[in-house]
Structure 1
Amino acid sequence: MPAWKELRPMAIDELIERDWILLPGTLCTEDVFTPMLEAIGVPLHQRHAIRLDRPTIEDYAEVCTRSEGAVVCGFSLGAIVAAHLADRLKAARIILFGVNPLADDPAKAEGRRALAWDVIMKGGGAALDARLPPLNGARPDVARAKVLGMAERAAADCDAQTALALSRPGALGVLAKTECPVLVLTGTDDTMAPPELGRQAADAAPRGQFFPLTRLGHYALLESPAACAVALHNMEARLERAA
Protein backbone atom coordinates (compact mmCIF):
# COMPACT_ATOMS: atom_id res chain seq x y z
CA MET A 1 0.00 0.00 0.00
CA PRO A 2 1.40 3.45 -0.89
CA ALA A 3 2.47 5.40 2.22
CA TRP A 4 0.13 8.29 1.44
CA LYS A 5 -2.90 5.98 1.62
CA GLU A 6 -2.00 5.08 5.19
CA LEU A 7 -2.22 8.80 6.06
CA ARG A 8 -5.58 9.29 4.37
CA PRO A 9 -7.80 11.63 6.40
CA MET A 10 -11.21 10.29 7.39
CA ALA A 11 -12.93 12.99 5.32
CA ILE A 12 -11.59 11.50 2.09
CA ASP A 13 -13.02 8.12 3.11
CA GLU A 14 -16.41 9.76 3.45
CA LEU A 15 -16.10 11.31 -0.03
CA ILE A 16 -15.13 7.96 -1.53
CA GLU A 17 -18.47 6.59 -0.38
CA ARG A 18 -20.35 9.26 -2.38
CA ASP A 19 -21.34 9.30 -6.03
CA TRP A 20 -18.96 11.16 -8.33
CA ILE A 21 -20.36 13.17 -11.24
CA LEU A 22 -17.66 13.39 -13.90
CA LEU A 23 -17.47 16.05 -16.62
CA PRO A 24 -14.58 15.51 -19.05
CA GLY A 25 -13.05 18.09 -21.39
CA THR A 26 -12.90 18.80 -25.11
CA LEU A 27 -12.16 15.66 -27.15
CA CYS A 28 -12.06 13.78 -23.88
CA THR A 29 -13.94 10.96 -22.17
CA GLU A 30 -14.46 9.96 -18.55
CA ASP A 31 -11.28 7.87 -18.90
CA VAL A 32 -9.31 10.99 -18.05
CA PHE A 33 -10.43 10.56 -14.43
CA THR A 34 -10.00 6.79 -14.16
CA PRO A 35 -6.38 6.53 -12.93
CA MET A 36 -6.95 9.10 -10.16
CA LEU A 37 -10.27 7.57 -9.09
CA GLU A 38 -8.60 4.19 -8.91
CA ALA A 39 -5.78 5.70 -6.84
CA ILE A 40 -8.19 7.06 -4.23
CA GLY A 41 -10.48 4.05 -4.35
CA VAL A 42 -13.77 5.32 -5.83
CA PRO A 43 -15.79 2.21 -6.86
CA LEU A 44 -16.90 1.89 -10.47
CA HIS A 45 -20.61 1.94 -9.62
CA GLN A 46 -20.22 5.37 -8.00
CA ARG A 47 -18.71 7.02 -11.11
CA HIS A 48 -21.28 8.76 -13.32
CA ALA A 49 -19.97 10.46 -16.46
CA ILE A 50 -21.77 13.28 -18.25
CA ARG A 51 -21.02 13.37 -21.96
CA LEU A 52 -20.30 16.86 -23.28
CA ASP A 53 -22.43 16.58 -26.40
CA ARG A 54 -24.62 19.68 -26.05
CA PRO A 55 -23.70 23.24 -27.03
CA THR A 56 -24.68 25.49 -24.06
CA ILE A 57 -24.04 25.60 -20.32
CA GLU A 58 -27.77 25.45 -19.59
CA ASP A 59 -28.00 22.13 -21.45
CA TYR A 60 -26.22 20.55 -18.47
CA ALA A 61 -28.10 22.31 -15.67
CA GLU A 62 -30.76 19.68 -15.06
CA VAL A 63 -28.48 16.67 -14.95
CA CYS A 64 -25.81 18.44 -12.87
CA THR A 65 -28.19 19.92 -10.32
CA ARG A 66 -29.49 16.44 -9.55
CA SER A 67 -26.14 15.83 -7.87
CA GLU A 68 -27.17 16.49 -4.26
CA GLY A 69 -24.58 15.07 -1.89
CA ALA A 70 -22.27 13.96 -4.72
CA VAL A 71 -18.76 15.00 -5.65
CA VAL A 72 -18.84 16.95 -8.93
CA CYS A 73 -15.48 16.66 -10.67
CA GLY A 74 -14.69 18.44 -13.93
CA PHE A 75 -11.66 18.62 -16.19
CA SER A 76 -10.94 21.51 -18.60
CA LEU A 77 -14.19 22.22 -20.50
CA GLY A 78 -16.04 19.98 -18.05
CA ALA A 79 -14.59 22.01 -15.17
CA ILE A 80 -15.85 25.16 -16.90
CA VAL A 81 -19.37 23.69 -17.04
CA ALA A 82 -19.22 22.77 -13.35
CA ALA A 83 -17.94 26.24 -12.43
CA HIS A 84 -20.77 27.95 -14.32
CA LEU A 85 -23.36 25.86 -12.48
CA ALA A 86 -21.60 25.84 -9.11
CA ASP A 87 -24.08 28.04 -7.24
CA ARG A 88 -26.90 25.63 -8.17
CA LEU A 89 -25.11 22.44 -7.17
CA LYS A 90 -25.94 20.88 -3.81
CA ALA A 91 -22.75 18.87 -3.96
CA ALA A 92 -20.47 17.69 -1.19
CA ARG A 93 -17.51 19.01 -3.18
CA ILE A 94 -16.83 20.64 -6.52
CA ILE A 95 -13.41 19.62 -7.84
CA LEU A 96 -12.02 21.46 -10.86
CA PHE A 97 -8.92 20.37 -12.79
CA GLY A 98 -7.38 22.76 -15.34
CA VAL A 99 -10.21 25.28 -15.20
CA ASN A 100 -10.46 28.66 -16.93
CA PRO A 101 -13.21 30.63 -15.12
CA LEU A 102 -13.13 33.58 -17.55
CA ALA A 103 -15.25 34.13 -20.66
CA ASP A 104 -13.66 32.63 -23.74
CA ASP A 105 -11.04 34.78 -25.41
CA PRO A 106 -12.37 35.84 -28.86
CA ALA A 107 -8.86 35.42 -30.21
CA LYS A 108 -9.22 31.65 -29.71
CA ALA A 109 -12.34 31.35 -31.87
CA GLU A 110 -10.54 30.75 -35.17
CA GLY A 111 -8.34 28.06 -33.64
CA ARG A 112 -11.32 26.32 -32.03
CA ARG A 113 -13.22 26.23 -35.32
CA ALA A 114 -10.12 24.99 -37.17
CA LEU A 115 -9.78 22.13 -34.68
CA ALA A 116 -13.44 21.17 -35.15
CA TRP A 117 -12.97 21.13 -38.93
CA ASP A 118 -9.84 19.01 -38.68
CA VAL A 119 -11.69 16.55 -36.46
CA ILE A 120 -14.27 16.14 -39.24
CA MET A 121 -11.61 15.74 -41.92
CA LYS A 122 -8.97 13.72 -40.07
CA GLY A 123 -10.51 12.24 -36.94
CA GLY A 124 -10.10 13.31 -33.32
CA GLY A 125 -6.73 11.73 -32.63
CA ALA A 126 -5.00 13.11 -35.71
CA ALA A 127 -6.53 16.56 -35.27
CA LEU A 128 -5.37 16.84 -31.67
CA ASP A 129 -1.97 15.26 -32.24
CA ALA A 130 -0.55 18.34 -33.97
CA ARG A 131 -1.94 20.67 -31.30
CA LEU A 132 -1.15 18.75 -28.13
CA PRO A 133 1.48 20.43 -25.91
CA PRO A 134 4.32 18.34 -24.46
CA LEU A 135 3.12 16.14 -21.60
CA ASN A 136 4.95 15.72 -18.32
CA GLY A 137 5.11 13.02 -15.68
CA ALA A 138 7.01 9.75 -15.51
CA ARG A 139 5.55 8.32 -18.75
CA PRO A 140 4.54 11.18 -21.07
CA ASP A 141 4.38 8.77 -24.02
CA VAL A 142 1.74 6.67 -22.26
CA ALA A 143 -0.23 9.75 -21.23
CA ARG A 144 -0.11 11.10 -24.78
CA ALA A 145 -1.41 7.85 -26.22
CA LYS A 146 -4.32 7.94 -23.76
CA VAL A 147 -5.16 11.55 -24.67
CA LEU A 148 -5.16 10.82 -28.39
CA GLY A 149 -7.21 7.66 -27.89
CA MET A 150 -9.84 9.65 -26.00
CA ALA A 151 -9.85 12.28 -28.74
CA GLU A 152 -10.62 9.63 -31.32
CA ARG A 153 -13.52 8.25 -29.28
CA ALA A 154 -14.96 11.71 -28.50
CA ALA A 155 -14.68 13.12 -32.04
CA ALA A 156 -18.44 13.09 -32.68
CA ASP A 157 -18.97 15.60 -29.86
CA CYS A 158 -16.41 18.18 -31.00
CA ASP A 159 -18.89 20.52 -32.75
CA ALA A 160 -21.05 20.77 -29.62
CA GLN A 161 -17.97 21.23 -27.45
CA THR A 162 -16.69 23.99 -29.72
CA ALA A 163 -20.00 25.86 -29.48
CA LEU A 164 -19.98 25.36 -25.70
CA ALA A 165 -16.47 26.76 -25.34
CA LEU A 166 -17.14 29.75 -27.60
CA SER A 167 -20.42 30.78 -25.96
CA ARG A 168 -19.59 30.49 -22.28
CA PRO A 169 -19.67 33.59 -20.06
CA GLY A 170 -17.30 34.06 -17.14
CA ALA A 171 -17.89 31.97 -14.00
CA LEU A 172 -16.29 34.08 -11.27
CA GLY A 173 -19.61 35.65 -10.23
CA VAL A 174 -21.21 32.23 -9.97
CA LEU A 175 -18.32 30.83 -7.94
CA ALA A 176 -18.66 33.77 -5.53
CA LYS A 177 -22.17 32.56 -4.66
CA THR A 178 -21.20 28.91 -4.18
CA GLU A 179 -21.80 27.41 -0.73
CA CYS A 180 -19.97 24.07 -0.95
CA PRO A 181 -16.18 23.67 -0.93
CA VAL A 182 -14.55 24.22 -4.32
CA LEU A 183 -11.19 22.49 -4.80
CA VAL A 184 -9.17 23.73 -7.78
CA LEU A 185 -6.07 21.91 -9.04
CA THR A 186 -3.85 23.06 -11.91
CA GLY A 187 -0.47 21.90 -13.18
CA THR A 188 2.24 24.50 -12.76
CA ASP A 189 3.26 23.85 -16.39
CA ASP A 190 -0.29 24.06 -17.76
CA THR A 191 -0.15 26.32 -20.83
CA MET A 192 -3.80 25.78 -21.82
CA ALA A 193 -5.30 26.94 -18.51
CA PRO A 194 -2.40 28.51 -16.57
CA PRO A 195 -2.27 28.32 -12.77
CA GLU A 196 -3.26 31.95 -12.26
CA LEU A 197 -6.66 31.14 -13.77
CA GLY A 198 -7.19 28.29 -11.34
CA ARG A 199 -6.18 30.52 -8.46
CA GLN A 200 -8.75 33.12 -9.58
CA ALA A 201 -11.45 30.43 -9.55
CA ALA A 202 -10.52 29.28 -6.04
CA ASP A 203 -10.21 32.82 -4.71
CA ALA A 204 -13.69 33.67 -6.01
CA ALA A 205 -15.38 30.84 -4.08
CA PRO A 206 -16.07 31.51 -0.37
CA ARG A 207 -14.84 28.01 0.48
CA GLY A 208 -12.32 27.68 -2.32
CA GLN A 209 -8.87 26.13 -2.24
CA PHE A 210 -6.17 26.14 -4.88
CA PHE A 211 -3.46 23.51 -5.23
CA PRO A 212 -0.62 23.80 -7.79
CA LEU A 213 0.45 20.44 -9.20
CA THR A 214 4.22 20.82 -9.45
CA ARG A 215 5.81 20.14 -12.85
CA LEU A 216 2.59 18.82 -14.36
CA GLY A 217 0.68 20.19 -17.34
CA HIS A 218 -2.91 20.45 -18.52
CA TYR A 219 -3.38 16.67 -18.50
CA ALA A 220 -2.10 16.28 -14.93
CA LEU A 221 -4.79 13.66 -14.26
CA LEU A 222 -3.04 11.33 -16.71
CA GLU A 223 0.51 12.61 -16.27
CA SER A 224 0.53 11.76 -12.54
CA PRO A 225 -2.73 10.46 -11.09
CA ALA A 226 -0.93 9.71 -7.81
CA ALA A 227 0.10 13.37 -7.45
CA CYS A 228 -3.51 14.42 -8.06
CA ALA A 229 -4.70 11.94 -5.44
CA VAL A 230 -2.18 13.21 -2.89
CA ALA A 231 -3.24 16.79 -3.59
CA LEU A 232 -6.89 15.94 -2.94
CA HIS A 233 -5.94 14.29 0.33
CA ASN A 234 -4.01 17.37 1.39
CA MET A 235 -6.92 19.65 0.49
CA GLU A 236 -9.34 17.48 2.45
CA ALA A 237 -6.99 17.62 5.43
CA ARG A 238 -7.08 21.42 5.25
CA LEU A 239 -10.88 21.33 5.28
CA GLU A 240 -10.82 19.08 8.35
CA ARG A 241 -8.47 21.44 10.18
CA ALA A 242 -10.65 24.45 9.27
CA ALA A 243 -13.88 22.79 10.45
Structure 2
Amino acid sequence: MAIELTDGRPWVLLSGTLCTDAVFDGLLDALGVPSASCRPVALRRPAVEDYLPELRAACLPGAVVCGFSLGALVAAHLADRLLASQFILFGLNPHADDPAKREGRLRLARDVAVTGGAAALAQRLAPLCGPDPKAARRQILAMADETADAIPAQTELALSRPGALESLAQARAPVSLFTGTRDAAAPFWMAQDAANVARHGRAIPLAGLGHYALVEDPAACAEAVNHHVMQGPDLI
Protein backbone atom coordinates (compact mmCIF):
# COMPACT_ATOMS: atom_id res chain seq x y z
CA MET A 1 0.00 0.00 0.00
CA ALA A 2 1.36 3.44 -0.91
CA ILE A 3 2.10 5.86 1.90
CA GLU A 4 0.73 9.40 1.75
CA LEU A 5 3.12 11.79 3.48
CA THR A 6 1.65 15.09 2.29
CA ASP A 7 -1.74 14.82 4.00
CA GLY A 8 -1.10 17.39 6.72
CA ARG A 9 0.65 15.08 9.17
CA PRO A 10 3.53 16.71 11.08
CA TRP A 11 7.02 16.68 9.58
CA VAL A 12 9.59 17.05 12.36
CA LEU A 13 12.82 18.48 10.92
CA LEU A 14 16.29 18.17 12.44
CA SER A 15 19.04 19.84 10.45
CA GLY A 16 22.80 19.34 10.75
CA THR A 17 25.83 21.23 11.98
CA LEU A 18 25.77 24.89 10.90
CA CYS A 19 22.49 24.29 9.07
CA THR A 20 18.99 25.71 9.38
CA ASP A 21 15.82 23.86 8.48
CA ALA A 22 16.12 25.55 5.07
CA VAL A 23 18.28 22.56 4.14
CA PHE A 24 14.98 20.68 3.70
CA ASP A 25 13.14 23.37 1.72
CA GLY A 26 13.79 22.03 -1.77
CA LEU A 27 12.89 18.49 -0.76
CA LEU A 28 9.65 19.48 0.96
CA ASP A 29 8.61 21.79 -1.86
CA ALA A 30 9.17 19.03 -4.40
CA LEU A 31 7.17 16.56 -2.30
CA GLY A 32 4.35 19.04 -1.78
CA VAL A 33 4.62 19.06 2.01
CA PRO A 34 2.81 22.19 3.29
CA SER A 35 4.90 24.55 5.39
CA ALA A 36 2.19 24.51 8.07
CA SER A 37 2.96 20.84 8.65
CA CYS A 38 6.66 21.44 9.37
CA ARG A 39 8.01 21.50 12.92
CA PRO A 40 11.73 22.36 12.93
CA VAL A 41 13.84 21.40 15.94
CA ALA A 42 17.03 23.46 16.13
CA LEU A 43 20.25 21.86 17.32
CA ARG A 44 21.12 24.25 20.13
CA ARG A 45 21.58 21.87 23.05
CA PRO A 46 24.72 19.83 23.77
CA ALA A 47 23.38 16.32 24.48
CA VAL A 48 21.17 13.91 22.55
CA GLU A 49 18.86 13.35 25.52
CA ASP A 50 18.18 17.11 25.69
CA TYR A 51 16.00 16.78 22.58
CA LEU A 52 13.69 14.02 23.79
CA PRO A 53 10.99 16.21 25.41
CA GLU A 54 10.68 18.52 22.40
CA LEU A 55 10.64 15.64 19.93
CA ARG A 56 8.06 13.72 21.90
CA ALA A 57 5.84 16.80 21.92
CA ALA A 58 6.31 17.33 18.18
CA CYS A 59 5.71 13.70 17.20
CA LEU A 60 1.93 13.76 17.03
CA PRO A 61 0.17 10.72 15.53
CA GLY A 62 1.43 9.97 12.04
CA ALA A 63 4.49 12.22 12.31
CA VAL A 64 7.37 11.92 9.89
CA VAL A 65 10.80 12.58 11.40
CA CYS A 66 13.25 13.89 8.80
CA GLY A 67 16.88 14.45 9.78
CA PHE A 68 20.10 15.49 8.13
CA SER A 69 23.62 14.63 9.32
CA LEU A 70 23.93 15.50 13.02
CA GLY A 71 20.16 15.98 13.18
CA ALA A 72 19.70 12.53 11.65
CA LEU A 73 21.90 11.13 14.42
CA VAL A 74 19.73 12.74 17.11
CA ALA A 75 16.61 11.31 15.46
CA ALA A 76 18.18 7.87 15.10
CA HIS A 77 19.37 7.74 18.69
CA LEU A 78 15.86 8.53 19.96
CA ALA A 79 14.00 6.49 17.35
CA ASP A 80 12.95 3.80 19.82
CA ARG A 81 11.22 6.38 22.03
CA LEU A 82 9.35 8.46 19.45
CA LEU A 83 5.85 7.74 18.16
CA ALA A 84 6.66 8.51 14.52
CA SER A 85 5.20 6.78 11.48
CA GLN A 86 8.40 7.17 9.42
CA PHE A 87 12.04 8.15 9.86
CA ILE A 88 13.61 9.67 6.74
CA LEU A 89 17.29 10.30 7.38
CA PHE A 90 19.94 11.84 5.13
CA GLY A 91 23.71 11.53 5.55
CA LEU A 92 23.58 9.52 8.78
CA ASN A 93 26.64 8.25 10.62
CA PRO A 94 25.04 5.90 13.18
CA HIS A 95 28.29 5.28 15.05
CA ALA A 96 29.80 7.16 17.98
CA ASP A 97 32.09 9.98 16.90
CA ASP A 98 35.59 9.05 15.78
CA PRO A 99 38.07 10.40 18.39
CA ALA A 100 40.38 11.35 15.52
CA LYS A 101 37.88 14.05 14.54
CA ARG A 102 37.95 15.75 17.92
CA GLU A 103 40.65 18.33 17.24
CA GLY A 104 39.16 19.22 13.86
CA ARG A 105 35.75 19.80 15.41
CA LEU A 106 37.21 21.98 18.15
CA ARG A 107 39.24 23.95 15.61
CA LEU A 108 36.10 24.57 13.52
CA ALA A 109 34.26 25.87 16.58
CA ARG A 110 37.14 28.24 17.38
CA ASP A 111 37.27 29.50 13.81
CA VAL A 112 33.50 30.04 13.72
CA ALA A 113 33.76 32.14 16.89
CA VAL A 114 36.46 34.31 15.33
CA THR A 115 35.50 34.58 11.66
CA GLY A 116 31.83 33.58 11.48
CA GLY A 117 30.14 30.46 10.18
CA ALA A 118 30.48 31.06 6.45
CA ALA A 119 34.17 32.00 6.52
CA ALA A 120 35.06 29.06 8.76
CA LEU A 121 33.10 26.53 6.73
CA ALA A 122 34.14 27.87 3.32
CA GLN A 123 37.72 26.68 3.71
CA ARG A 124 36.56 23.21 4.76
CA LEU A 125 33.65 22.63 2.38
CA ALA A 126 34.28 19.76 -0.02
CA PRO A 127 33.50 20.21 -3.72
CA LEU A 128 29.76 20.03 -4.27
CA CYS A 129 27.81 18.02 -6.80
CA GLY A 130 24.44 18.43 -8.47
CA PRO A 131 23.18 20.71 -11.25
CA ASP A 132 24.27 24.03 -9.66
CA PRO A 133 27.17 23.62 -7.19
CA LYS A 134 27.70 27.38 -6.90
CA ALA A 135 24.11 27.98 -5.78
CA ALA A 136 24.36 25.07 -3.36
CA ARG A 137 27.54 26.51 -1.89
CA ARG A 138 25.91 29.92 -1.40
CA GLN A 139 22.98 28.35 0.45
CA ILE A 140 25.21 26.22 2.67
CA LEU A 141 27.41 29.16 3.65
CA ALA A 142 24.40 31.39 4.31
CA MET A 143 23.00 28.78 6.68
CA ALA A 144 26.39 28.55 8.39
CA ASP A 145 26.33 32.26 9.14
CA GLU A 146 22.78 32.06 10.50
CA THR A 147 23.66 29.27 12.92
CA ALA A 148 27.17 30.28 13.98
CA ASP A 149 26.06 30.94 17.56
CA ALA A 150 24.94 27.30 17.89
CA ILE A 151 28.34 25.79 17.10
CA PRO A 152 29.46 25.32 20.76
CA ALA A 153 26.42 23.16 21.53
CA GLN A 154 26.64 21.36 18.18
CA THR A 155 30.31 20.61 18.71
CA GLU A 156 29.66 19.12 22.14
CA LEU A 157 26.75 17.17 20.71
CA ALA A 158 28.93 15.73 17.94
CA LEU A 159 31.79 14.84 20.27
CA SER A 160 29.66 13.23 22.97
CA ARG A 161 27.05 11.52 20.85
CA PRO A 162 26.53 7.82 21.42
CA GLY A 163 26.10 5.33 18.63
CA ALA A 164 22.53 4.92 17.40
CA LEU A 165 22.50 1.28 16.28
CA GLU A 166 20.90 -0.05 19.46
CA SER A 167 18.04 2.46 19.34
CA LEU A 168 17.51 1.88 15.62
CA ALA A 169 17.23 -1.85 16.28
CA GLN A 170 14.31 -1.11 18.63
CA ALA A 171 12.55 1.44 16.42
CA ARG A 172 8.99 0.43 15.56
CA ALA A 173 8.59 2.74 12.56
CA PRO A 174 10.27 2.22 9.16
CA VAL A 175 13.68 3.87 8.80
CA SER A 176 14.71 5.03 5.33
CA LEU A 177 18.32 6.16 4.95
CA PHE A 178 19.41 8.26 1.97
CA THR A 179 23.10 8.90 1.32
CA GLY A 180 24.98 10.39 -1.62
CA THR A 181 27.36 7.99 -3.33
CA ARG A 182 30.03 10.70 -3.08
CA ASP A 183 29.41 11.43 0.59
CA ALA A 184 32.83 11.32 2.26
CA ALA A 185 31.53 12.51 5.64
CA ALA A 186 29.01 9.67 6.03
CA PRO A 187 29.72 7.04 3.34
CA PHE A 188 26.98 4.74 2.12
CA TRP A 189 28.23 1.79 4.15
CA MET A 190 27.21 3.70 7.28
CA ALA A 191 23.63 3.91 6.01
CA GLN A 192 23.79 0.19 5.32
CA ASP A 193 24.96 -0.46 8.88
CA ALA A 194 21.92 1.41 10.16
CA ALA A 195 19.51 -0.27 7.75
CA ASN A 196 20.82 -3.71 8.64
CA VAL A 197 19.92 -3.37 12.31
CA ALA A 198 16.57 -1.58 11.96
CA ARG A 199 13.55 -3.87 11.87
CA HIS A 200 12.16 -2.01 8.88
CA GLY A 201 15.30 -0.39 7.50
CA ARG A 202 16.39 0.41 3.97
CA ALA A 203 19.45 2.22 2.64
CA ILE A 204 19.04 4.13 -0.62
CA PRO A 205 22.03 5.58 -2.53
CA LEU A 206 21.72 9.00 -4.16
CA ALA A 207 23.81 8.65 -7.29
CA GLY A 208 26.49 11.28 -7.88
CA LEU A 209 25.64 13.39 -4.83
CA GLY A 210 27.66 14.27 -1.74
CA HIS A 211 26.98 14.91 1.92
CA TYR A 212 24.82 17.96 1.14
CA ALA A 213 22.62 16.02 -1.29
CA LEU A 214 19.52 17.83 -0.01
CA VAL A 215 20.94 21.14 -1.22
CA GLU A 216 22.90 19.82 -4.21
CA ASP A 217 19.86 18.24 -5.89
CA PRO A 218 16.63 18.42 -3.89
CA ALA A 219 14.60 17.19 -6.87
CA ALA A 220 16.63 13.96 -7.00
CA CYS A 221 16.22 13.53 -3.25
CA ALA A 222 12.46 14.06 -3.55
CA GLU A 223 12.25 11.55 -6.38
CA ALA A 224 14.06 8.97 -4.24
CA VAL A 225 11.81 9.64 -1.23
CA ASN A 226 8.71 9.49 -3.41
CA HIS A 227 9.76 6.18 -4.94
CA HIS A 228 11.04 4.40 -1.87
CA VAL A 229 8.79 5.83 0.86
CA MET A 230 5.65 7.42 -0.53
CA GLN A 231 5.09 4.85 -3.27
CA GLY A 232 6.85 1.99 -1.55
CA PRO A 233 5.29 -0.70 0.62
CA ASP A 234 4.01 0.28 4.03
CA LEU A 235 6.31 -1.64 6.34
CA ILE A 236 4.33 -0.97 9.53
Give the TM-score of the pair, scaled to structure 2. 0.96
Match of 1:20 among 11, 31, 53: 11
Shift of 1:15: 4.4
The answer on 1:118 being equivalent to 2:118 is: no
CA distance in 2, matches of 1:208, 1:10: 17
Deviation at 1:202, TM superposition (A): 1.3
Q: What's the CA shift for 1:238? A: 2.8
Residue of structure 2 in register with 1:143 after alignment: 136
Q: Which residue of 2 is the match for residue 38 of structure 1?
A: 29
Deviation at 1:10, TM superposition (A): 4.7
Q: What is the DSSP-based 3-state SS (H/G/I as helix, E as strand, rest coil) of the residue aligned with 1:48? A: strand
Q: Structure 1: which 5+ residue stretches go unaligned?
A: 1-8
Which residue of structure 2 lines up, in the alignment, with residue 208 of structure 1? Answer: 201
* Corresponding residue number in structure 1 for 2:160: 167
The question of 1:57 aligning with 2:51 is answered no
Residue in 2 that maps onto 1:154: 147
Alignment partners' CA distance in 1, 2:126 and 2:197 = 28
Q: Is the 8 A contact 2:67 2:88 kept in 1?
A: yes
Please give the alpha-carbon distance, in whole angstroms, between the structure 2 residues aligned to 1:134 and 1:84: 29
Query: What is aligned with 1:70?
Result: 63
State how far apart, in whole Å, the 1-side matches of 2:218 and 2:85 are.
Answer: 22
Partners of 1:65 and 1:201 lie apart in 2 by 22
Measure the CA separation in 1 of the matches of 2:134 and 2:160. 33
CA distance in 2, matches of 1:137, 1:16: 29
Per-residue CA shift, 1:159-197, capped at 9, x if unaligned? 000000000111101100011000100000001111110
Choose from 90, 108, 120 the match for 2:101.
108
How far off its partner does 1:65 sit?
Answer: 1.8
Tell me, in whole angstroms, the C-alpha distance in 1 between the residues paired with 2:194 and 2:7: 24
Equivalent residue number for residue 97 of structure 1: 90
Aligned 8 A contact 1:136 1:215 in 2: yes
**Cα gap change, 1:16/1:228 in structure 2, threshold over 3 Å: closer, same or farther?**
farther
Decide which moves more: 230-239 or 88-97: 230-239
Q: What is the aligned-residue RMSD (CA, Å)?
A: 1.3
Once residues 201 and 65 of structure 1 are traced to their aligned partners in structure 2, the CA distance between those partners, rounded to angstroms, is: 22
Residue pair 2:2, 2:233 contacting (<8 A) in 1 also: no
Deviations 1:42-83 (A, max 9, x none): 111111111100000011011112203210100000000000
Partners of 1:165 and 1:189 in 2: how far apart?
22
**Pairwise CA distance, 1:17:** 2.4
Amino acid of the residue matched to residue 39 of structure 1?
Answer: A
Say which of 217, 233, 236 aligns to 1:239.
233
Instruction: Give yes or no for contact 2:186–2:211 (8 Å, CA) kept in 1.
Output: yes
For residue 80 of structure 2, the aligned residue among 80, 87, 96 is: 87
Percent identity, aligned pairs only? 52
CA contact (8 A) 1:87 1:179 kept: yes
Distance 2:187 2:43 in 1: 22
Do 2:117 and 2:146's aligned partners in 1 also have CA atoms closer than 8 Å?
Answer: yes
CA distance in 1, matches of 2:131, 2:65: 28
